[in-house]
Structure 1
């Protein structure tokens, strides 16, 4: 859940069709840099695009034409890169590459050209870009408290206050200790019932739409967004948005706040920090109005929860009979926990963080899972066969979900190809030394205090050094161990490394797979989000066959808080004959 917050103020908006097809292996490294960048831009989600790629591979290399802005940017980058970060490679890509497509595509191009750790400068601002699991593990786990959220916290503070994502280390330690016990086994079991209830609403709506002709064209991204909002409302703070069937002022305010969070993550200049903008700029006036509607709603829910407080020790709260409770929300748990008294403002910040982050993650995961499956009829039929077999005996429970092995692998592969978010942001609080990583400097890289770092999850998940066929949709890859003895310091991928885990995580992949971050500041709601997605996808596939309305290349990609579509995921749903 918490992993889906907006990534950085320097992300630039723009659509890209389908999915990129970075070249891998020795062939890519043998090509000139300009040639590699052109090949990296080719997309490979359909047969026709594969043919286009093959044709481009036969063309002679053409030099990259740089304009005055590109040349000025490179001069400034070279000037700014001469000191504090020593011999670290410096990206000298064309700054115009950043416009018209998401930033993480360009970061991938430069990763292939410059290696797993390099410096990138935007005018007076510079960043270190990390695309290596060995280095990521150092930053996120081994030396986690040497870093905070930096740019990310600055963007999110006006929206989430001191919620878990933007919180300073002291606040984070206190709140994490309180919130983590709330995601215990009995609570998760109760949440599965809520996931099922909300998914049934969505399925019923879609069945009504297909009633007359047996099929319908619908924007599944919008439907998943509504479903995720309903689940977060009921599961986190006991509020039924019922956004699947209606639209209330609170729902409008939630989406307005989400749009503003994304706007702030994709706008280079933080103009909203200037004096009087909250009264002068129309979209900022609307944002503060939306924020007030949500905060008033949350304040009322917190007040009601405190008025009905039943204080108890955490161990007893974790043994509650959730089947007899009317309110099974996380808010109920946090309010009732003895010794965890907290002011209403902090509770509101916690709830706002989970509302925005949890909603965005699930909607995106489901969207890209369906996008990939719709292009793979064989995999879809395999998934449907598993769903038919496992769900034939009635209610969905945690034990039932454990048997949906292939559905879980599909969701994991969607998270690998379309990570939410594609970047993690950190800022060094004191000097540090990063390891060189695979093929990096043996002596490592000195990091001064105040250095901003992008851990590129997108690059990690599609790295040709740590994944076979990294740009192909292969859910089965998560069932097969992978070890490369030539990569010192990386223990490979082993699905048996974390016995009992329902879903592979950063430990199983030794930080080459980071769908929810890693280390102490890993998303606290990861199991919540994965189980929620598993339930929703299984229930959809049980009832419907799904096809894309048009070509995969028509599904344009934009990014901000998450990787999502520009104009929706329009699909044709047909009722299955079972």
Structure 2
């Protein structure tokens, strides 16, 4: 296996995933990265990734990631060991069924509506002072919006963070920052005895966790007191449009035969809160960043919105017609995947395929090997994508042959009939914004639909420009790719609405 000797100094001042991309172009699709005594195998090839995530999925666990996230998410779906994961996935996956997603579109539009109203009020105030536009950090606004959506749809709790700040919101953000900090910090100093009491950052983290846990415990208690135990099929056929509480928590508590252990429920909810918040905010941030540099694509998007929605709000049915908006979201996820890396550790020795241009005999790896699956490299691989660094949402409509790449089936939208959004099946693992195989993210459709609604409603009402140059928007990475100082934009009320 080729070895990239990574000087740790290479990483200062730039995100890890960018360095991994340079080394991928130099050393190939599978290489070993050594930092002093620590070594990682970096994989940037769909054939090898498919082997790890799908064909041999149960020979791997989450490794380093599970160690880092366990204090925050406990045994939630992301860090869970294999046995816990199998039990919880069976219970949680049915929760994201079609009728639930359909009813969630109402929550997506209501929350997005609050954000739009806030912008309109700010513009009005600016207008009274003679101004025609406002300047906003859209990354921060998307972050509040995503938090409100997760609160209402997952545990029927209104954070109201678009319009106010509360102790629970501060605690959520504190916990998110700590999760980020841990995912990028080399030494898990927080495991050292007494660190949680002596290090101010860790003391604050313990306090934040207590605030969130108290809130979640109250919501769980409340849901259990009003429990209506029902079979899973009946739960999936409930009339969600008339339910006062259509949250996922309600579904999990009411499910017959599900072991509703409070601790496990709390871990599940915490995982969804963290995983479902930061990622959506990031997708919307980069979608706007890309559109602002491509005014013709923004106009095309607005023309589609005017045609499909007019002045109305998006519905589940109209989402199906907003094809270009959906593709913008997907292309933003290709160029800026959230997260840019997936982490795995081998539970037993394995033989990885060589992948494209790799060793024909493959690569033997021992048990305990830590692996970075570079989603960023996969999504921008010059071997699997035409013009990989360019923003072209339309690319997902065209079939792409495997072009002689042995073991890769090419890109074919007809492989996943009825899919609203392109996925890893269509692309044979060259595109996997939500992972793939059995441990793929259960909330993928939820996140995609939520992002589509929010973007459509923003563009329906406003023209958006970047405040500075695209180069002034610096990338930083933790669990997701975000900006260093926010995405500052100028918003004007649209003048060309038909």
1:448 to 363, 366, 391: 366
- 1:145 alignment counterpart: 58
CA distance in 2, matches of 1:450, 1:252: 37
Match of 2:421, SS?
coil
Match of 2:440, SS?
coil
Q: Does 1:368 align with 2:271?
A: no
2:17 to 59, 79, 104: 104
Name whichever of 95-104 and 177-186 sits farther off.
Answer: 95-104
Match of 1:520, SS?
helix
1:494 to 412, 424, 436: 412
- 1:413 alignment counterpart: 331
Between the two proteins, the alignment pairs up a number of residues equal to 491
Deviations 1:383-419 (A, max 9, x none): 0000111112734222110100000110111000000
Deviations 1:110-149 (A, max 9, x none): 1001100000111111110000000000000000000000
After TM superposition, the score normalised by the length of structure 1 is 0.84
- 1:240 alignment counterpart: 158
After the TM superposition, which residues 512-523 of structure 1 pair with which residues of structure 2 at under 5 Å, given as runs? Answer: 512-523=430-441
Provide runs of 4+ in structure 1 moved above 4 Å.
none
- 2:88 alignment counterpart: 175
Structure 2 spans left out of the alignment, 5+ residues: none
How far has the Cα of 1:95 moved from its partner?
3.2
1:382 to 286, 300, 321: 300
Structure 1 spans left out of the alignment, 5+ residues: 1-87
CA distance in 1, matches of 2:315, 2:91: 26
- 1:92 alignment counterpart: 5
How far has the Cα of 1:94 moved from its partner?
3.6
- 2:253 alignment counterpart: 335
Q: Does 1:161 align with 2:60?
A: no
Match of 1:121, SS?
strand
1:300 to 206, 218, 228: 218
Deviations 1:351-407 (A, max 9, x none): 000000000110000000000000000000000000111112734222110100000
- 1:511 alignment counterpart: 429
- 1:184 alignment counterpart: 97
Q: Does 1:552 align with 2:456?
A: no
Deviations 1:433-481 (A, max 9, x none): 0000000000000011000000000000000000000001111101111
2:448 to 520, 530, 534: 530
Deviations 1:317-364 (A, max 9, x none): 111111221111000000000000221000000000000000011000
Deviations 1:174-222 (A, max 9, x none): 0000000001111001100000000000000001111113310000000
- 1:570 alignment counterpart: 488
CA contact (8 A) 2:196 2:203 kept: yes
CA distance in 2, matches of 1:273, 1:411: 38
- 1:291 alignment counterpart: 209
The RMSD of aligned alpha carbons is: 0.8
How far has the Cα of 1:534 moved from its partner?
0.1
Deviations 1:75-119 (A, max 9, x none): xxxxxxxxxxxxx10003443211111111111111001100000
- 2:137 alignment counterpart: 219
CA distance in 2, matches of 1:395, 1:484: 40
CA contact (8 A) 2:7 2:35 kept: no
- 2:169 alignment counterpart: 251
CA distance in 1, matches of 2:349, 2:343: 17
1:318 to 212, 221, 236: 236
1:132 to 45, 62, 67: 45
- 1:74 alignment counterpart: none
- 1:54 alignment counterpart: none
Q: Does 1:345 align with 2:267?
A: no
After TM superposition, the score normalised by the length of structure 2 is 0.98
2:181 to 250, 257, 263: 263
- 2:109 alignment counterpart: 196
CA distance in 1, matches of 2:93, 2:57: 18
CA contact (8 A) 2:95 2:248 kept: yes
